[in-house]
Structure 1
Amino acid sequence: MKTNKVQFITQAAMIAAIYVVLCVVFQPISYGPIQTRIAEALTVLPFFTPAAIPGLFIGCLIANLLGGGIILDVIAGSLATLIAAFATYTLRNKSKYLASVPPVVANALIIPWVLKYGYGEPLPIPFMMGTVALGEILTATIVGTILLLVLDRYRASIFKTV
């Protein structure tokens, strides 16, 4: 039992750290009204382990703080990631190709409101929903699905049951 807790915490911490590093390394495209956050490829990880849920949430929270986001962005963006991670985990028994749908939907529905009312972005909300969804499709769906397919081949050795 104790080993499972340690493994869970270790996996969550590693996922959070990788998320933050990817945001920092790709900082020029990770923040702003039109962004392609490479770290969002990791949002498929709840398909493999529930430890990805807090890992992605904490990683996004730290990345948003380091990125200089306003408090609304830090909270709402991190909650969008938490909602998406939980939804991805609940879909894990359906189809692996659905794993990237929750991040696209959650971010497209939440982030444009933050951009509009938090940062005063003049673009219309429906347009920003499209740009956020496009960024998520590029990272969570395309890159994330590639990551998911590669990791799925090694699932037993990488993601032991926690």
Structure 2
Amino acid sequence: MKKTLFIVQASAIAAIYAILTILFAPLSYGQIQVRISEALTILPFFTPAAIPGLFVGCIIANMFGGNGMIDIVFGSLASLIAAYLSYKASRKWIVPLPPVIINGIIIGFILNYLYQLPLLISMVWVAIGQLIACYGLGYPLLLTLEKYKDKIFVKKN
């Protein structure tokens, strides 16, 4: 039962992440991006199922982004690393921070490599977009979901 719930939660998170990213595509891709779906990066605070869910959702979303295999592989790995670090975060306010830092660095490198955009500027723009999505949207989501966590999520081990 617990394994089935884990798979269902991971699948639902992956689907929601991919749909939100693709639906808001003009905002989701490029040097200046605010992925609305990145608000979901707070979900590892509630369930480890969010780790593979965000990873798979990002893979699917990046398949539609037009940046090829480098983004599909390394952009999605950035989400996997960030989700794991968010899961390990010891305090609520730190949970949105790993996606801001990890994506700022890795996606900044990807944009620099693909489009020869200035590295530091790319990192800063991605990090700003992540701040908006993860703290502006994600942190209020975390506070709201916390009220219902026992009804929605399996407890962390």
Give the TM-score taking structure 2 as reference length.
Answer: 0.96
Contact preservation (8 Å) 1:36, 1:135? yes
Does the CA-based 8 Å contact 2:46-2:155 persist in structure 1? no
Rounded to whole Å, the distance in 1 between the matches of 2:147 and 2:55 is 25
Report whether the alignment pairs 1:154 with 2:145. no
Structure 2, unaligned runs of 5 or more: none
Deviation for aligned residue 1:77: 0.6
Kindly tell me the number of residue pairs found equivalent between the two proteins: 156
Say if 2:111 is the partner of 1:115. yes
Please list the CA deviations of residues 33-91 of structure 1 after superposition, one character each: whole Å capped at 9, or x if unmatched: 11110000000100000000000000000000022221101111100000000000111
Aligned equivalent of 1:59: 57
1:20 aligns with 2:18: yes
Which residue of 41, 45, 53 maps to 2:39? 41
Kept in 1: contact 2:38–2:130 (CA 8 A): yes
Q: Distance in 2 between matches of 1:110 and 1:34?
A: 14
**1:134-145 mapped onto 2 (5 Å cutoff):** 134-145=128-139
* Number of the residue aligned with 1:72: 70
Partner secondary structure for residue 22 of structure 2: helix
Separation in 2, partners of 1:69, 1:58: 17
Specify the code of the residue in structure 2 equivalent to 1:22: L
Q: Quote the Cα distance in structure 1 between the aligned partners of 2:83 and 2:136.
A: 17
- In the TM superposition, structure 1's runs of 4+ consecutive aligned residues that sit over 4 Å from their partners are none
- Structure-1 residue corresponding to 2:82: 84
Q: Measure how far apart 1:5 and its partner are.
A: 0.5
1:99-135 per-position Cα deviation (integer Å, ceiling 9, x unaligned): 0010001001111111111x2233x211111101100
2:123 to 124, 129, 150: 129
User: Which one-letter code corresponds to 1:151 in the other structure?
Assistant: L
Asked if structure 2 preserves the Cα contact closer than 8 Å seen for 1:33 and 1:121, the reply is no
Query: What amino acid is the match of 1:146?
Result: P
| Aligned mate of 2:102, from 99, 106, 121 | 106
Supply the distance in 1 between the matched residues of 2:116 and 2:137 (Cα, whole angstroms): 28
